[in-house]
Structure 1
């Protein structure tokens, strides 16, 4: 065991004495030392229950003969950070968290690691750290919250709060309605109750095999969440015993399974750079990943529709069978030989699966009768985005999937929001929001408020947004994000001008400005790189080292 190299002999008595100063015994230090990287805090609803979940994990580890050692991680809330300076920090936090886990594991030579996290950047960071460290590792999310009071035909959630504020500004509802929603949309802790980036990434961790079956979507307040903690403790000890490490599980086949599930559930577009960042840890090229997204999107039907694409929330999705039921339905498309943290293969897990509730075919369709014949995410390419852009057909009305309009260009999200609220945006406009990329932002902010403002102003069904930034997993409307190369690196999006005609053709996977290659090249010759917005701190570092979105926005 790794830990015994620094604890198991007389020459390392210094290290043993450090552990003993905390209260560990000789017997404790003879056992496998299992780290618990816990991102619990009192700021993020999705992480508020992780202290209790962590205690359950410790219980399982101790019962199985290990010694659990817990340490904390940062975890910021995308929701709280929306629309202000804080959003610059959210994507960089992913790489910081992965680095923190690596540092703690290697500095203390831990034998294995259980990682507890629920939200948007935390789970991808944990996947990246696991692949990088290649020791026995498991991820256990905290689970989604329950849905709130019904508003506008469905159970409310955090995005309902945002939309209601726009409706208030438009005079469609009263201030009392907004105040009531403020107190009722989030009745429990847990990750947000829709299929945004948080629940998408938890689902993909389960699809990859790094989370126990049903570990992604069992609600935060269900007692089953605590039993999953105990089971995770036993599972990590079995991995140590059998010398199963993260890279035995996180393989190209496992990533293919994750992409299949992503397409089948119509998950968040943010999963694309996160999976690409994970692939980077395995030395899989960005181009290989882009080819996989395109290929598997074309051949994977979308069989799930939940909020924000339907009225059903994550508790409904869980009760319909959750990720195990989705994987069972698309099992013919999966790499069933891929190993998982259960010690069994994907195929063996599915064969042993027992449903706790009756399937709901309004939520999870049969493969033969899908909601859509292709996946819920599409990769677009064209003279604006030669290295690709990402969109979400599952969140776009069919009549909006081929859209032609005139560009209205903004060099920041803030400028676009001001224009929307001032009434300067008209039906038929294509908002071009650039310099919100990994380097240019920095931090690749989400165009969350811009999309929600369009919705509140009644423009969501007749305008479009294209950006080198990102979108929230809850956004809907015609949008293309992650445009690469980014404007800050002289990508073609930097050459666009007000009035340029742009066509977004999702069925044919293209995004095209009605400009010749010569016109774009001529404009780019006159382009000058903007000054970096931040030169110190993590944003200064990130703006220097971050790669473009198609490479996963990893630090290079």
Structure 2
């Protein structure tokens, strides 16, 4: 079997003598205690994203052992290897800045090391997209499983969990409802165990859309991290990986335009994270096609939000698991999905659905005729403020603010916002629109999750709970509010957002899909002539230089241009000229990557 699949014989190190290369490889791996019989089996690589900084992946070592067991039961040789581990709360300046680094790590290590198939183990927001981006680029047989969501905690009898409740309680603390002692007590209970956020945040969303795309065995997205079912699913994943190696079923045959359309459909139906739009765009770019924002909008118009989970609803991921997981959702939108898409099982999505247990009535997955929200969770916006698009999670917004005209209160950077948002003399009222500039892919850098700007303290204390907020940054999938995100082109490359000034009127009309700056074009031309790029983008070395040279805008998934299957001809936002040589301004100390440029 190993000869047919190549096993350890593939991808030999270049020593100028293939026989010696194989001899040396086997000699060294025998130091791990393997027998010749073991080394004759097909090799199944297993990624290991465990890190002492990553609580989401605390249970990954147990998952790896279960995957190994499954591989061995199917006659394969499991070999684990580490890749970059990225956690949201421990990544400076933001995890998104490092997602592409992780994707490169996955691609190159899978390509460089001998394996006939690879098991991808993700957990925490950016790890799943990075794994799939790398797998799409190398196109070796691959299968995904995830750490699974946390279980919920409790505070004074109230059920709670990370991280929607993190934000809710912190907002109440800022408004003076909780003192320092109680907010610390709450902090001890928000993350009650290993796993990813147990609301419909980015990690939960990416797990569900990955299962919908066919890259995960059925039922795997919603199993809580602490459940025995999680380990049984991991074992089955290891078994299936050996079969994938034999069948040579590749990611490019599974992650197709049609399967990504299914992923977008599920994204809308579950009220998923806006971050998934960026990640799915990056995955599509690795596969050689573009994610169509107009298609996302059309799918949203057809697909109501059916899953009653925070932040758009009431429940948590363990409740979705008990309600039947993704299969329960797919059956409600059965007439809207492409059931002929092939999956890692070797069967179609429709065949997989038919093999799952029958659904049952519950309050978590609502029937399509009685949805949580009509018209989809996410809406695409366009206008002179966002020529390349912006998005809003309308299912998590205040309905009365979805059509609103207000005066801009502008923060020119993350630092400016931090310095002034709570100032007693800030000129702001509840009808204004908060605008954050330079929080995009280059502006942040890394498009930080700062788009859900805090309500200015003096308004929060007065009881204001939501305002229209606009930025070129992202928002955590766990967040809520009337927040316009991913404005493109971003301010840091001279997009229209960079031209907004205090007092300008902005019109938001979500129903019409409009985001407009109500300023004369002649004034915009004048302001544009005075624009200069932020100094922190002037980097001369290391990963930071690669990042600023190559990162694309939100509609292209913030991926590196040279990693796309079909790289873009990058144009200047202000001149329209090819700007490959303009993207690296000069006069910046090379230490910037460790200072202001990455400080968020």
TM-score (norm 1): 0.94
Matches for 1:461-480 after TM superposition, within 5 Å = 461-480=465-484
Secondary structure in structure 2 of the residue aligned to 1:248:
helix
Equivalent of residue 482 in structure 1, options 464, 481, 486: 486
2:272–2:377: 8 Å Cα contact kept in structure 1?
yes
Report the equivalent of 1:187: 192
Residue by residue over 1:457-484, the C-alpha shift from the partner in whole angstroms, topping out at 9 and shown as x without a partner, is 4675452111111111122111111100
Secondary structure in structure 2 of the residue aligned to 1:388:
strand
Shifted more, 145-154 versus 403-412: the winner is: 145-154
Report the equivalent of 2:385: 384
Residue by residue over 1:49-104, the C-alpha shift from the partner in whole angstroms, topping out at 9 and shown as x without a partner, is 000000000000011011111011222221345xxxx2x24112211111111111
Report the equivalent of 1:79: 89
Task: Identify if the C-alpha distance between structure 1 residues 329 and 39 changes in structure 2 by more than 3 Å, giving closer, same or farther.
Answer: same
2:278–2:555: 8 Å Cα contact kept in structure 1?
yes
Matches for 1:151-300 after TM superposition, within 5 Å = 154-285=159-290, 288-300=291-303
2:122–2:144: 8 Å Cα contact kept in structure 1?
yes
Is 1:70 the counterpart of 2:73? The answer is: no
State the 1:152 CA deviation.
9.5
Distance in 1, matches of 2:538 and 2:219, equals: 42
Distance in 2, matches of 1:190 and 1:358, equals: 27
Is 1:118 the counterpart of 2:141? The answer is: no
State the 1:414 CA deviation.
3.0
Secondary structure in structure 2 of the residue aligned to 1:475:
coil
Distance in 2, matches of 1:176 and 1:396, equals: 30
State the 1:370 CA deviation.
1.9
Equivalent of residue 143 in structure 1, options 144, 148, 165: 148
Matches for 1:17-36 after TM superposition, within 5 Å = 17-36=27-46
Gaps of 5+ in 1: none
Equivalent of residue 546 in structure 2, options 541, 545, 554: 541
Shifted more, 295-304 versus 390-399: the winner is: 295-304
Residue by residue over 1:473-496, the C-alpha shift from the partner in whole angstroms, topping out at 9 and shown as x without a partner, is 122111111100111111111111
State the 1:173 CA deviation.
2.3
Shifted more, 184-193 versus 143-152: the winner is: 143-152
Q: After TM superposition, which residue ranges in structure 1, 4 or more long, deviate above 4 angstroms?
A: 6-11, 150-154, 452-462
2:152–2:159: 8 Å Cα contact kept in structure 1?
no
Distance in 2, matches of 1:449 and 1:506, equals: 17
2:269–2:307: 8 Å Cα contact kept in structure 1?
yes
Task: Identify if the C-alpha distance between structure 1 residues 125 and 476 changes in structure 2 by more than 3 Å, giving closer, same or farther.
Answer: same
Task: Identify if the C-alpha distance between structure 1 residues 457 and 533 changes in structure 2 by more than 3 Å, giving closer, same or farther.
Answer: farther
Distance in 1, matches of 2:445 and 2:136, equals: 26
Report the equivalent of 1:526: 530
Q: Number of aligned pairs?
A: 547
Report the equivalent of 1:329: 332
State the 1:551 CA deviation.
1.0
Task: Identify if the C-alpha distance between structure 1 residues 151 and 254 changes in structure 2 by more than 3 Å, giving closer, same or farther.
Answer: farther
Task: Identify if the C-alpha distance between structure 1 residues 370 and 68 changes in structure 2 by more than 3 Å, giving closer, same or farther.
Answer: same
State the 1:128 CA deviation.
0.8
State the 1:109 CA deviation.
3.1
Report the equivalent of 2:368: 367
Task: Identify if the C-alpha distance between structure 1 residues 153 and 224 changes in structure 2 by more than 3 Å, giving closer, same or farther.
Answer: same
**Aligned residues: CA RMSD:** 2.1
Secondary structure in structure 2 of the residue aligned to 1:381:
strand
1:145–1:189: 8 Å Cα contact kept in structure 2?
yes
State the 1:217 CA deviation.
0.9
1:430–1:465: 8 Å Cα contact kept in structure 2?
yes
Task: Identify if the C-alpha distance between structure 1 residues 452 and 307 changes in structure 2 by more than 3 Å, giving closer, same or farther.
Answer: farther
Report the equivalent of 1:421: 422
State the 1:382 CA deviation.
0.5
Task: Identify if the C-alpha distance between structure 1 residues 546 and 459 changes in structure 2 by more than 3 Å, giving closer, same or farther.
Answer: farther
Gaps of 5+ in 2: 562-600
Distance in 1, matches of 2:57 and 2:298, equals: 35
1:40–1:117: 8 Å Cα contact kept in structure 2?
no
